[in-house]
Amino acid sequence: MFTTKSTGFARLYYATLYSVKGLRAAFVSEPAIRQELAAMALLLPLACYLEVSLSEKLLMIMSLFIVLIVELLNSAIEALADRVSDEVHVLIGKAKDIGSAAVFISLLLVAVVWGAVLLKV
Tell me whether residue 82 is annotated as binding: no
Tell me whether residue 87 is annotated as binding: yes
Write down the catalytic residue from 47, 68, 71, 92.
71
Which of 106, 63, 69, 99 shows the shortest CA–CA distance to 81? 99
Where residue 8 falls (left for φ over 0; alpha for ψ -120 to 50; beta otherwise) is left
Tell me whether residue 83 is annotated as binding: no
Tell me whether residue 75 is annotated as binding: no
**In terms of C-beta density within 10 A (0-12 exposed, 13-18 middle, 19 or more buried), how is residue 29 classed?**
exposed
Q: Is 71 a catalytic residue?
A: yes
Tell me whether residue 25 is annotated as binding: no
Residues designated catalytic: 71
Binding residues: 11, 18, 30, 32-36, 71, 78, 87-89, 96-97, 100
Binding residues for substrate: 11, 32-36, 71, 100
